[in-house]
């Protein structure tokens, strides 16, 4: 994507694959963001008052609108990002899955959660945890999935009764305008608004929101958290990854090879949970590499219909990918496919399979976010696990074995938020389970069943008496007799026993 300024507040967005004009965007003045947030805060009160059932009806209408306008959205996605049609069609589908789930579960998520008394003598109290939506949730979304990353968190926040202030990436601002138009067209209240711009606008969103959901690089996530800490604003951060795949000696090699290729090349490798490095047992290494190369050689690179994956988002991302590949080749790796940028227009980089790699190379240690697939031979499961965990990142991983129990044993040794057995990326389509990162891959989680709604809420515990009998009997009652009686009750009901000396 390239943005060229026509006036101080308007830019033209170009397709990174062709250089054609995708559209224009009017940037938000950072000074206007607090006013936008104030309007959202006012509208949120009525949105919360609709109740979970009322909000679910609005979200259902929005789901219908998205489905009816899917072709328009996908065309704009391709124009704005240079994606292939194969990649573009996944985004609205994912949001439909998420909407369907939260429409059905939001009432349960927002219902008061009764809690038991910790001890029998405290059962005179009735305890419930209530979930109160935060007024304004700020969502700072990345450019790699302009629909999915904009809405996958917004859906949960809106279901909870929050208003949402969305800042799309300045690289892909156009699709968000259509998503907002759809929200308005389906008769929804004005509890979704956009703030278009770069760093200064993002800072204003952080300063004006009650909760921040950020998806992006680990380095930027640190800056977001630092800014939010000034007002003690809670954050959820889904950050970078260097996701490993482990292929055991009893794996279904054709399945594993095709999964590795799809997981690495989908969306030109610009996915937070891309397969970025593969560790293969030595006994099946040659067979696996041969299958991977054959699959990659069948891929077609280009934007729009008829292609498997499209352009990278801009020249800076091409430069990162090229730097990682060049570094590997200089240190002794071999490129079995690709390895050099093709001549011609567009921010393309060919699908590149690298072998003879090790952890001294950038392609094995830094997030590439490009269509590369480094493969490393290992001699044992222990070595594979050690190398997979040898990373500052911990977003997700995958393990391939015909013995599912064996794969699960390996999975729980990996230091990451999610592991797919005999598949890749599939956890992204499961809103019932949390998606979160370990180490520098993030804080908090998106989705997680009912927690995908409740994360955007404050918790309020309400304790009410079951009976008026004995009310206030313990206030300032410090007589020797009263204390002895209290100690006796505590010992009895808490089942406290004096420690006996071992014989």
pLDDT at 4 over 70: no
pLDDT bin (cut points 50, 70, 90) of residue 490 is: low
Residue matched to tokens 């008052």: 49
For the chain, what is the mean pLDDT?
94
pLDDT bin (cut points 50, 70, 90) of residue 432 is: very high
pLDDT bin (cut points 50, 70, 90) of residue 495 is: low
Would residue 406 count as lying in a domain?
yes
Convert the pLDDT of each residue in 23-43 to its tens digit: 999 999 999 999 999 999 999
pLDDT the model gives residue 123: 87
Name 459's bridge partners.
Answer: 131
The pTM (predicted TM-score) of the whole model is 0.92
Task: Count CB-CB contacts under 10 A for residue 238.
Answer: 27
Which has the closest alpha carbon to 284: 337, 244, 247? 247
Q: Are residues 147 and 171 in the same domain?
A: yes
pLDDT at 485 over 80: no
Token pair of 18 as six digits: 């062709």
Which has the closest alpha carbon to 426: 158, 83, 97? 97
pLDDT at 499 over 80: no
Would residue 330 count as lying in a domain?
yes
Q: Using CA atoms, how far apart are residues 100 and 89, in angstroms rounded to an integer?
A: 18
What whole-number percentage of the chain has pLDDT above 70?
A: 94
Q: Which residues are catalytically annotated? A: 238, 272
Q: Using CA atoms, how far apart are residues 370 and 331, in angstroms rounded to an integer?
A: 19
Q: Using CA atoms, how far apart are residues 467 and 130, in angstroms rounded to an integer?
A: 21
Are the beta carbons of 286 and 324 closer than 8 angstroms?
A: no
What whole-number percentage of the chain has pLDDT above 90?
A: 89
Task: Write the CA distances from 260 to 9, 255, 263, 374, integer angstroms.
Answer: 43, 9, 5, 10
Would residue 444 count as lying in a domain?
no
Q: Are residues 219 and 276 in the same domain?
A: no
Which has the closest alpha carbon to 443: 233, 204, 193, 202? 233
CATH number at residue 299: 3.40.309.10
Where are the alpha helices (H) located in 69-198, listed in sequence order?
70-81, 85-110, 148-160, 174-185
Q: Are residues 344 and 218 in the same domain?
A: no
Name 129's bridge partners.
Answer: 113, 461
pLDDT the model gives residue 7: 41
Q: Are residues 251 and 190 in the same domain?
A: no
Q: Are residues 303 and 223 in the same domain?
A: no
Which has the closest alpha carbon to 86: 349, 272, 308, 311? 308
The torsion defined by the Cα of 274, 278, 284 and 287, in degrees rounded to 10, comes to: 60
pLDDT bin (cut points 50, 70, 90) of residue 493 is: low
Domain count, the chain: 2
If you compute the radius of gyration of the chain from its CA atoms, what whole number of angstroms results? 26
pLDDT the model gives residue 232: 98
Which has the closest alpha carbon to 44: 165, 136, 131? 136
* Burial (Cβ within 10 Å: 0-12, 13-18, ≥19) of residue 236: buried
pLDDT at 1 over 60: no
pLDDT the model gives residue 475: 74
Would residue 499 count as lying in a domain?
no
pLDDT the model gives residue 470: 66
Convert the pLDDT of each residue in 323-356 to its tens digit: 999 999 999 999 999 999 998 889 999 999 999 9
Convert the pLDDT of each residue in 125-138 to its tens digit: 999 999 999 999 99
Q: Are residues 268 and 200 in the same domain?
A: no
Q: Are residues 281 and 386 in the same domain?
A: yes
Convert the pLDDT of each residue in 161-201 to its tens digit: 999 999 999 999 999 999 999 999 999 999 999 999 999 99
Token pair of 314 as six digits: 């801009």
pLDDT the model gives residue 501: 52
Could you tell me what percentage of the chain is helix, strand and coil, using 3-state DSSP and rounding each to the nearest 5? Answer: 45, 20, 35
Q: Are residues 266 and 224 in the same domain?
A: no
User: Quick one: average pLDDT of 406-431?
Assistant: 97
Length of the chain as a residue count = 503
Q: Which domain holds residue 74?
A: 10-239+449-458
Least reliable range by pLDDT among 74-78, 342-346, 404-408, 434-438: 342-346
Which has the closest alpha carbon to 310: 343, 350, 272? 350
Residue 334: phi and psi, rounded to 5, are -120, 140
Q: Are residues 329 and 405 in the same domain?
A: yes
CATH number at residue 102: 3.40.605.10
Q: Are residues 249 and 211 in the same domain?
A: no
Residue matched to tokens 């936008």: 36
Q: Which residues contact 120 (CB under 8 A, 6 or more apart)?
A: 493
Q: Which residues contact 308 (CB under 8 A, 6 or more apart)?
A: 84, 86, 265, 299, 300, 301
């Amino acid at each position: 994507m390239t943005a060229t300024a026509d006036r101080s507040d308007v830019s033209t967005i170009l397709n990174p694959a062709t250089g054609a004009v995708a559209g224009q965007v009017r940037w938000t003045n950072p000074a206007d963001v607090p006013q936008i947030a104030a309007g959202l805060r006012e509208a949120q009160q009525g949105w919360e008052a609709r109740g979970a059932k009322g909000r679910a009806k609005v979200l259902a209408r929005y789901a219908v609108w998205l489905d009816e306008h899917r072709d328009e959205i996908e065309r704009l996605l391709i124009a704005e990002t240079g994606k292939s049609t194969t990649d573009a069609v996944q985004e609205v589908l994912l949001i439909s899955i998420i909407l369907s789930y939260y429409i059905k579960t939001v009432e349960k998520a927002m219902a008061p959660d009764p809690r038991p008394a910790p001890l029998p003598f405290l059962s005179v109290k009735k305890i419930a945890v209530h979930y109160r939506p935060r007024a304004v949730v700020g969502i700072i979304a990345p450019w790699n999935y302009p629909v999915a990353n904009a809405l996958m968190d917004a859906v949960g926040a809106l279901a909870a009764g929050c208003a949402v202030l969305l800042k799309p990436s300045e690289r892909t601002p156009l699709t968000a305008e259509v998503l907002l138009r759809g929200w308005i067209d389906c008769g929804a209240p004005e509890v979704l608004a956009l703030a278009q711009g770069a760093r200064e606008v993002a800072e204003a969103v952080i300063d004006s929101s009650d909760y921040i959901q950020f998806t992006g690089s680990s380095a930027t996530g640190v800056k977001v958290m630092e800014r939010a800490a000034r007002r003690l604003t809670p954050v959820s951060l889904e950050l970078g990854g260097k996701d490993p795949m482990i292929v055991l000696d009893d794996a279904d090699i054709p399945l594993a090879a095709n999964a590795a290729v799809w997981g690495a090349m989908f969306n030109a490798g610009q996915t937070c949970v891309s397969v970025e490095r593969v560790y293969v047992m030595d006994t099946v290494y040659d067979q696996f590499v041969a299958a991977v190369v054959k699959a990659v050689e069948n891929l077609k690179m280009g934007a729009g219909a008829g292609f498997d994956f499209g352009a990278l988002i801009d020249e800076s991302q091409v430069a990162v990918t090229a730097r990682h590949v060049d570094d590997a080749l200089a240190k002794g790796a071999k490129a079995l496919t690709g390895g050099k940028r093709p001549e011609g227009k567009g921010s393309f980089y060919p699908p590149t399979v690298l072998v003879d790699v090790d952890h001294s190379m950038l392609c094995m240690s830094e997030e590439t976010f490009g269509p590369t697939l480094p493969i490393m031979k290992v001699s044992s499961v222990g070595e594979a696990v050690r190398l997979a965990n040898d990373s500052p990142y911990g977003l997700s991983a995958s393990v391939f074995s015909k013995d599912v129990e064996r794969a699960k044993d390996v999975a729980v040794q990996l230091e990451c938020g999610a592991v797919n057995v005999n598949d890749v990326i599939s956890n992204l389509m499961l809103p019932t389970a949390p998606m979160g990162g370990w180490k520098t891959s993030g804080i908090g989680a998106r989705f997680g069943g009912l927690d995908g709604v409740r994360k955007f809420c404050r918790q309020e515990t309400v304790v009410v008496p079951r009976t008026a009998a004995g009310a206030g009997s313990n206030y300032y009652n410090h007589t020797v007799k009263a204390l002895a009686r209290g100690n006796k009750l505590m010992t009895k009901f808490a089942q406290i026993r004096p420690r006996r000396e071992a014989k």
